[in-house]
Amino acid sequence: MGSLKAETSISKGRCNGTGKNLSPDSLINLDHGDPTMYESFWREMGEKSTIVILGWQLMSYFSDVRNLCWFLEPELAKEIRKLHQLVGNAEINDRHIIVGNGSSQLFQAALYALSPPDASEPISVVSAVPYYSSYPPVTDYLRSELYRWAGDAYTFKKDAPYIELVTSPNNPDGFTREAVVNRSRGKMVHDLAYYWPQYTPITSAVDHDLMLFTVSKCTGHAGTRIGWALVKDREVAIKMTKFIELNTIGVSKDSQLRAAKILNTVCEGYEGGNTNGVMRFFEYGRRLMTERWERLREAVRKSTLFSLPEFQFEFCNFDREIRSAHPAFAWLKCEGDIEDLEMFLRSHKVLTRSGKHFGADPRYVRASMIDRDETFDLFVQRLSTIH
């Protein structure tokens, strides 16, 4: 694998296969945030989340030529609005919805749209350490003259325009975040991939200028490659749409309609007094995540070699109760004298991602909490026996 350590990098992911047939000494791959945990839910939903597309359907490039984002399927736009209304996690009034091939493409579209076109040097792109490990390589891989990765937002001193990437809850450590540079010449991209009730209390409908979401982490459909941006400014929305037009001439309609059906199924679970046989997705996800975090904390206690972040209890407007976060990743720290935790865990046949990819110390690693049951069971079992 090259230096680009995107979540979807397939080559390493294969060693888990389907997650079935793991033996007690199998290699466990928790390097990626592959959301296979949710397969069990969608298997239960069966026909309720199925769509059929006939051979003659969805053939045109165009979805809605009257819309600024002409390749956005109206059905998907409707379901996105409905879902945000249900969850109450983002302001959707007076926003343009831009659909992308995952939020990864929208992230690049946002950099393109927010960069001054005629500046004498590339605009600096920063994010607070520990930041999502894909930001630096994705920002720099084409060596754009428009923007350039400039590292940790906490140490950014340059008196010049900049773009700050704010991931909340954060990947890798799960904490809620706000912008840290806060200068007038800054533009912000809020990556809210994990701002859903199974991961964190929903404390308000966030209202930022440019917000990114994705079905990958919301419902677990990473393979469908659908993300969306909620954008306040019309000119920014036009430029993002142009980027996607030049890059991929839009986004698969098949995928958009599949995503629409999935979001619709999620919403149905909360409609009509829940008598329609559709399970409540966020309750299912939250229950699983809560249970997994309890088991992980217990394993870490037993091992005595590691520590985990502690999260505050907050009132969740969606669940109507006080609860704490159960993030999609465990940001594990070695409290012993091991300098390179990734290498150490690898020697115990557990693949994780080193803190150094997130701009942090190699005594930290990030481990996925959203893999299949079999993988997670083996992970906690093995962790508890490492001293």
* Chain contacts with ligand PLP (rule: CB under 6 A): 7, 33, 102-104, 132, 167, 171, 191, 193, 214, 216, 222, 227
- Pairing between strand 210-214 and 226-231? antiparallel
Q: Which is nearer to ligand PLP, 33 or 269 (CB)?
A: 33
Q: How far is the CB of 47 from ligand PLP (least distance, A)?
A: 26
Contacts of 3 (CB under 8 A, 6+ apart): 137
Q: How far is the CB of 54 from ligand PLP (least distance, A)?
A: 28
Token match 């990734």: residue? Answer: 342
Q: Which is nearer to ligand PLP, 63 or 167 (CB)?
A: 167
Q: Which is nearer to ligand PLP, 189 or 296 (CB)?
A: 189
The DSSP secondary structure of 285-313, one letter per residue, reads HHHHHHHHHHHHHHHHHHH-SEE------
- Pairing between strand 353-354 and 321-323? unpaired
Contacts of 122 (CB under 8 A, 6+ apart): 115, 144, 145, 146, 147, 148
Q: Which is nearer to ligand PLP, 63 or 108 (CB)?
A: 108
Q: How far is the CB of 360 from ligand PLP (least distance, A)?
A: 15
Q: Which is nearer to ligand PLP, 33 or 299 (CB)?
A: 33
Contacts of 254 (CB under 8 A, 6+ apart): 53, 58
Q: Which is nearer to ligand PLP, 251 or 299 (CB)?
A: 251
Write the burial class of residue 225 (CB in 10 Å: 0-12 exposed, 13-18 middle, 19+ buried).
buried
Residue 148's CB is within 10 A of a number of other CB atoms, namely 16
Q: What CA–CA distance (Å, rounded) separates 257 from 158?
A: 44
Q: How far is the CB of 35 from ligand PLP (least distance, A)?
A: 9
Q: How far is the CB of 274 from ligand PLP (least distance, A)?
A: 29
Nearest residue to ligand PLP, scored by beta-carbon proximity: 102
CB 92 within 8 A of CB 99: no
Q: How far is the CB of 114 from ligand PLP (least distance, A)?
A: 16
Residue 119's CB is within 10 A of a number of other CB atoms, namely 13
Q: How far is the CB of 7 from ligand PLP (least distance, A)?
A: 4
Tell me which residue of 164, 200, 192 sits closest to 80, measured CA to CA. Answer: 192
Q: Which is nearer to ligand PLP, 124 or 216 (CB)?
A: 216
